[in-house]
Structure 1
C-alpha cells in the first residue's frame, strides 16, 4: 500500500528569509523521501508556491551559509550573462545570450516598455537541442515579468529546487534581476513568486535543517 503524498502549497511570505524558513518547514514536515536519478536521497515537496511581498527586506537568512560578496557575484553573473568561472552554462548566459543569439532580458524590457499590460515578457533557460542531450541542465526554467498596478512582478518556475542550499541565493539574484528590469522600464519592483515543482532538501543537509527548524519553530 502506497501512502498519498502531499502536493501543492501556497506560502505568502513577507521577506526572503521568511519564505526560506517557512518553505523548509513545509518540506521538512510534509515532504516525502525519494531517491533521485543520481542516487541521492532527498526530502521532497511537490509544487510549492511562495509569494514574497517584500524581496528587499531581510534578504539573507541568518542560517544561510553564503556571504554578501558571494551573493553579489552570483547576482552580477545572473544579470550580465558573464561566465568568468567557465561553468558549463550560467542562468545569465541563457537569459542574456539564449542559444548564442537572443538577449531575452532586453526583449523583456522592450515588451514591457512598449506595452505595460503585456503577457509576453517571458524568458526561458531550457534549450531543447542542448538540454535533452546533457546531464547538467537548468533548474530555473522560466522568468516571467508583468506590470500590474504600477509595479513590476516576477514569477519564476523551477523544475527542481535545492531549497536548503540554493533558495536564498536564487531569490537574492532574482530580486536584483527584478530591480534591473524595473529600473529600465521606469516602474517600482513588486513581488516575487517562485513555483518549485520539486522543492527538496538533500540528505546531507537533513541534520542541519532539523536543527534550524527546531530553533525557529
Structure 2
C-alpha cells in the first residue's frame, strides 16, 4: 500500500514526512552508506508548487546551492565546479570528477541525444492532451550495476522519470524516484522539480497544477534522524516570485543568470563587484532575487560579510530572505532582516 503525504505547500508535506519518521514509522534497512529507516512506496502531493521551500528543515537548507542547482539543471550542465562552489561537501556524495554522472539537466537535454525539455514543450504546445510526454533520467546502459552488483558511479540518479500532462489548462507533474533521502535529498528535490514544472508551465502559457511524487524508497539514515524535525517556520516566509515566462524570455534570463554565476565563482571578482552586479542587473525582479542570494553567498565565501546586507537589501522575496538568514545563523553570522522582507 502507498503511504501518502499531502499538503498545500512543500513545507507542510516535509513536516508530515518528518513527523512520520520521528514517530517511529519505517522499517530498519541496511544500505551501502549505513543503516536507514525506510518507508516503501510513498506518494506525495503538493497543491501549490510555487510554495516549494521546506522552511522547517533544521539545520536549514543551503538556499544558494539550491538556486544554483536550478540554473545548472535548466541549462543542462553537468560540470562539477559550477555547483561545488556553493556546496563544498557535494563531492563526498557525487564524486570527485570534473563532471557529475547523474546530472539531471544534462540527462534531460543532452545525454540521450535529444533535448527532452524542448521536445516536451513542442509536443504539449501542439497536442496538449498528449499522454506520451515522459522525460527520462535513468539510463540502464549507464546506471545499472554490473553483474557482481558493483555500482556504475557514486552519482547514480535518484530521480528516474518525469511525467507531464496538461489537464484543465494546468500543467500537472509526476516525479518518480527510486531512492529518496528525506534529510539530504527531499527538500532539494521538491525545489528542483516544482521549479521545472513552473518554468515549463510558463513556456506553455499554462497555470500550475499539482506536483505529485512517488518515492519508492523514502528513507532517513539513522545518523540523520535527529535532524529531520524542526520548529514551524515563520508563516510570513512565503515565495512571492514567479518563474513562469514565455520560453524565449525564460531562456534569456536563465542564460544570463548562468553567466552571472560564472562571474560569482571567479575568485578574481571582488565582493564590491558582486554588489554592483546585483544593483546594475537588468534581470526581471524574480531573477534578480535569485542573483542576490548567489552574490550574497559569493561575498560570504570571500569573507566579506560586511557587504552581505548591501546585497540582500536588493532581495524582495520573503522566503529567500528568511532562508538565507537561517543559513547565516547556521554558520554563526548575524544579519538583521528588514521587517518588510521577513
TM-score (norm 2): 0.57
1:30 partner SS: coil
Q: Unaligned regions of 5+ residues in structure 2, if any?
A: 81-98, 146-151, 233-342
**Displacement after TM superposition at 1:208 (Å):** 2.0
Residue in 2 aligned with 1:49? 43
Query: 1:30 maps to which residue?
Result: 25
8 Å contact kept, 2:50–2:195: no
1:96 counterpart SS class: helix
Q: Shift of residue 30 of structure 1?
A: 1.6
1:189 alignment counterpart:
208
Q: Report what 1:69 is aligned to.
A: 64
Q: 1:22-50 deviations in whole A, cap 9, x for unaligned? A: 112223432111102x1510010011101
Matched, 1:143 2:162: yes
Root mean square deviation, CA, Å: 1.7
**Deviation of 1:200 (Å):** 0.3
Which residue number corresponds to residue 102 of structure 1? 114
Alignment of 1:2-21 (within 5 A): 7-21=1-15
Q: Which moved more, 1:162-171 or 1:193-202?
A: 162-171
SS of residue matched to 1:153: strand
Q: Helix, strand or coil for the counterpart of 1:66?
A: coil
Corresponding residue for residue 34 of structure 2: 40
For residues 96-154 of structure 1, the C-alpha deviation after alignment (integer angstroms, 9 at most, x for no partner) is 1133x111111111111111111011101111111124133211011011111110011
Report the Cα distance in structure 1 between the residues aligned to 2:13 and 2:103, rounded to whole angstroms.
24
* Equivalence for 1:168: 187
Query: Are the aligned partners of 1:98 and 1:104 in contact in 2 as well (CA < 8 Å)?
Result: no
Report the 3-state secondary structure (helix = DSSP H, G, I; strand = E; otherwise coil) of the residue aligned with 1:97.
Answer: helix
**1:27–1:199: 8 Å Cα contact kept in structure 2?**
no
1:112: which partner in 2? 124
Structure 1 partner of 2:219: 200
Kept in 2, the 8 Å contact 1:140–1:157? The answer is yes
For the pair shown, which has the larger CA radius of gyration, 1 or 2? Answer: 2
Contact 2:45 2:211 in 1 (8 A): yes
The total of aligned residue pairs comes to 205
In structure 1, what is the Cα distance between the partners aligned to 2:63 and 2:203? 24
Which of structures 1 and 2 has the larger relative contact order (alpha carbons within 8 angstroms, sep 6+)? 1
Worse-matched range after superposition: 42-51 or 75-84: 75-84
Q: Which moved more, 1:63-72 or 1:117-126?
A: 63-72
2:14–2:54 contact (8 Å) kept in structure 1: no
Unaligned 5+ segments in structure 1 are 1-6
